[in-house]
Structure 1
């Protein structure tokens, strides 16, 4: 009986073993794969599978080639069948997850990555994918494990040695993001991060600079007050003077008693300080600058040095923030980091938080002009912003024990007056019905629909689409026929000639729905701001999660939409998704510009028929001195990728996309570095704004100098300033 069973097993193995012909086909497929001919390889693997349908490894290879060719639906079918055939293979759900991610099916992709980990719990690639997709628990587990092994500290120590290899390492890091992931911390581990990586000390000042620190002794509990006082007294020296304000006599007595014998030299108590009186105190005690601490803010040990150094370079300065609480043992536990960005002249920078510094001369000028102003961060920060751009220090230099209040979104102002005409171009291919719905939503929500001219470019509508276009034509929409190969740039350029004298040009996809009432008012207001050349909006997926809140020109070396997949109400880092702010670029799915700016550029570049045309346009505007603004006060739903029609599923799409990618990289190499609107301490090893990393004094100095450099001028730095420590890991 045993012999019979073995013979039957042998017969089955022989019956499913691939034939010589099948093996030859697979060998040819391997060669095409290695040569980068993905479509040819997929076809040959299919022929091999027809002769050997049980060869699961060839099915996986065919799925890989289909995925790389852009045929995601066909790839998914092969991956799912291969999963059933090889239930122990973790690479199959890993590759399936990547295909689902490419298709925009993020939650299904996450589940597939989890399946890969169920099959292989130590699969590094699956861990990286989940961390990139924003699964903090996985990231937390890996970070804690790395700390226990001592990896981040050891890697951090390599920063100086690797400084001269920055460019090469950046390319390696983009190919292998897990290299730098080990030193990146999620916000859930912020207290651990701060204990492992305290803020670096500032370099010695070039000349004597004495800083006064103003704090409110009345706020907070007694426990909080004494913790703040301990930290402040530790800073008092010939370079740092403390000024306490308040009316609580008991606390004032505590301050003077605990500060002795230095009281009078390094620490003062004053009640009801006016701005002129404060300025006079600075002159009397030879203080060159003032650091204001609001609420229950506790300064970092490195704060005086960095704020003094910043005030040597600029009139005002602010830093990153964090909130914290006191443990039962009286220790500060830090949480909720706030990584701010550099100053935005359009109001997009969040409030400076609980710490703000300014030169004595600046304080004196404000005191002269606004003597009744309260000496608070909010009041002096607003007054100084009207005079000069503050310098951002990318370090956690103040911890607020009372919590950092959320910054409210900036309101959209009310406008009136004669409306400027807006000309809108909407290309459509296979979804003219969507274009019809979008046009109706634009008109229904506009304050001045009569000042809206619309051209719909028909790039090959069929069937019901033709009827939809006919209805639009009957409603006064101009229909422009163009049945050549889809080229988003060329179609939009051609349609502009049909918009008459419209002074604002709006370019939009057909698969949109306007949600904002009187959106046209906001568009006119943004484009009327001095220096603004283009504007974009907040876009949502149909499930009301965010699809676009501006574009990062570089994240891990590639452009990336901000806010993708986040809740509609998410504020983003320091509230950036709920504020009008400068962006490097905005999506062409809803991009507005002035006619003069458009004509100065000669329109969109037809060399970018499908991708990067919007980013290229915004970057060329920047070269002419015009900024691009993102506004959350215009919101639309976007059914992404319908405008391109069936091209999205075309095998040749992958080759076209690769060619555009190479062209964009060659044209804008400098812009593929970290986006200047983003805090430099965010880690690119994960999805945007998921984790941050430690820095060095040299890197901070380089960042400060970059902010002060004229627009478009590169800042030279020493090798140690060029390399971020996380890049050394």
Structure 2
């Protein structure tokens, strides 16, 4: 019996070494290669990513892989806008999109576990258990939940698959038909919070979001997170955009009041705690992000 056709979609930018390892893990998936295509979207990398992908694809074609595509884009559109652009390049046979970050490696059974959890027609997406590459016994991201009344997120690290509010987009399976029905990802976010917004929109339309811990993705991220200005800006701005786009009027009123009275002072205290000093430049970025979130400044911005 033929397996359902899956497009493995990987946006990338200057990820030569990580992407090479990601591709190697895809080659080891317990899934027939004739039922998969790999579509890599290069955001105008300046390293050897393109040359590496071409070399890998030549080797894979000798192994019987026939559905291999590399899109060389002329600018850096981030990690999720390429999904919208990439739809037209996907095979007409595609039923599922396996979205991966370039710095992820998969276990052989990951794709099958995701597909098994996606059998219900009402399931829009299934997310894998993301673990730290250097500490694979530790969960980096589990099942996500959103409280729009207080503007907070929480996660559950469960042993069994559960329905939740959102899953992380470093390794997730999207039903292509539902993705198209919902209009893809909202480009207003540029980076950060986009997968949360997509999952909330899917739930509003009657679909389910599933977290499947049997599907494992080893993610090469630091266990303490990063605090570069770009990440901080989009983290805080986009959280406010998410509330504006998905909350009711009363939820917005409550969460924005709490943001002013509680979350903002906490964010400033956290900056001082992490930096061991008053980091004026970081606080400036944070305040700019919050201001832009309140006035509705969207898309890519100069930080």
- TM-score, normalised with respect to structure 2: 0.71
Distance 1:595 1:659 in 2: 29
Aligned counterpart in structure 1 of residue 177 of structure 2, from 596, 605, 616? 596
Structure with greater contact order relative to length (CA < 8 Å, sep ≥ 6)? 2
Matched-pair contact (CA < 8 Å) for 1:447–1:520: yes
Distance 1:452 1:586 in 2: 23
Secondary structure in structure 2 of the residue aligned to 1:655: helix
Tell me the equivalent position of 1:608.
189
Aligned counterpart in structure 2 of residue 558 of structure 1, from 122, 131, 152? 152
Distance 1:444 1:656 in 2: 35
Q: CA-to-partner distance for each residue in 1:241-290, whole Å, 9 max, x for gaps?
A: xxxxxxxxxxxxxxxxxxxxxxxxxxxxxxxxxxxxxxxxxxxxxxxxxx
Aligned counterpart in structure 2 of residue 514 of structure 1, from 106, 131, 134? 106
Matched-pair contact (CA < 8 Å) for 1:582–1:627: yes
Tell me the equivalent position of 2:141.
548
Once the two structures are TM-superposed, the CA of residue 430 in structure 1 deviates from its matched residue by: 1.7
Unaligned ranges ≥5, structure 2: 62-67, 252-303
What are the within-5 Å matches in structure 2 for residues 707-718 of structure 1?
Answer: none
Secondary structure in structure 2 of the residue aligned to 1:471: helix
What are the within-5 Å matches in structure 2 for residues 258-277 of structure 1?
Answer: none
Matched-pair contact (CA < 8 Å) for 2:131–2:216: yes
Distance 2:145 2:241 in 1: 18
Alpha carbons of 1:561 and 1:459: their partners in 2 closer, same or farther (altered >3 Å)? farther
Count of aligned pairs between the two proteins: 238
Tell me the equivalent position of 2:212.
631
Once the two structures are TM-superposed, the CA of residue 549 in structure 1 deviates from its matched residue by: 1.5
Distance 2:202 2:213 in 1: 21
2:35 matched to 1:443?
Answer: no
Distance 1:506 1:664 in 2: 24
Once the two structures are TM-superposed, the CA of residue 649 in structure 1 deviates from its matched residue by: 6.9
Matched-pair contact (CA < 8 Å) for 2:189–2:234: no
Alpha carbons of 1:452 and 1:659: their partners in 2 closer, same or farther (altered >3 Å)? same
Once the two structures are TM-superposed, the CA of residue 429 in structure 1 deviates from its matched residue by: 0.8
2:105 matched to 1:524?
Answer: no
In terms of fraction of residues, the more helix-rich structure is: 1
Distance 2:250 2:55 in 1: 44
Tell me the equivalent position of 1:67.
none
Tell me the equivalent position of 1:303.
none
Secondary structure in structure 2 of the residue aligned to 1:551: strand
Matched-pair contact (CA < 8 Å) for 1:618–1:628: yes
RMSD: 2.5
Larger radius of gyration: 1
2:228 matched to 1:664?
Answer: no
Once the two structures are TM-superposed, the CA of residue 671 in structure 1 deviates from its matched residue by: 12
Tell me the equivalent position of 1:368.
none
Tell me the equivalent position of 1:456.
40
Once the two structures are TM-superposed, the CA of residue 495 in structure 1 deviates from its matched residue by: 1.6
Unaligned ranges ≥5, structure 1: 1-416, 564-576, 642-647, 674-729
What are the within-5 Å matches in structure 2 for residues 205-604 of structure 1?
Answer: 417-474=1-58, 475=60, 477-501=68-92, 502-515=94-107, 517-542=108-133, 543-544=135-136, 545-554=138-147, 557-563=151-157, 577-604=158-185
Matched-pair contact (CA < 8 Å) for 1:432–1:468: yes
Tell me the equivalent position of 2:292.
none
Alpha carbons of 1:450 and 1:654: their partners in 2 closer, same or farther (altered >3 Å)? same
Distance 1:599 1:524 in 2: 19
Matched-pair contact (CA < 8 Å) for 1:454–1:499: no
Distance 2:83 2:121 in 1: 26
Matched-pair contact (CA < 8 Å) for 1:489–1:608: no
Secondary structure in structure 2 of the residue aligned to 1:610: coil
Matched-pair contact (CA < 8 Å) for 2:127–2:173: yes
Secondary structure in structure 2 of the residue aligned to 1:460: coil
Secondary structure in structure 1 of the residue aligned to 2:31: coil
Matched-pair contact (CA < 8 Å) for 1:473–1:479: no
Distance 2:215 2:48 in 1: 30
Matched-pair contact (CA < 8 Å) for 2:151–2:243: no
Once the two structures are TM-superposed, the CA of residue 509 in structure 1 deviates from its matched residue by: 0.5
Distance 1:429 1:611 in 2: 16
Matched-pair contact (CA < 8 Å) for 1:554–1:672: no
Matched-pair contact (CA < 8 Å) for 1:540–1:636: yes
- TM-score, normalised with respect to structure 1: 0.31
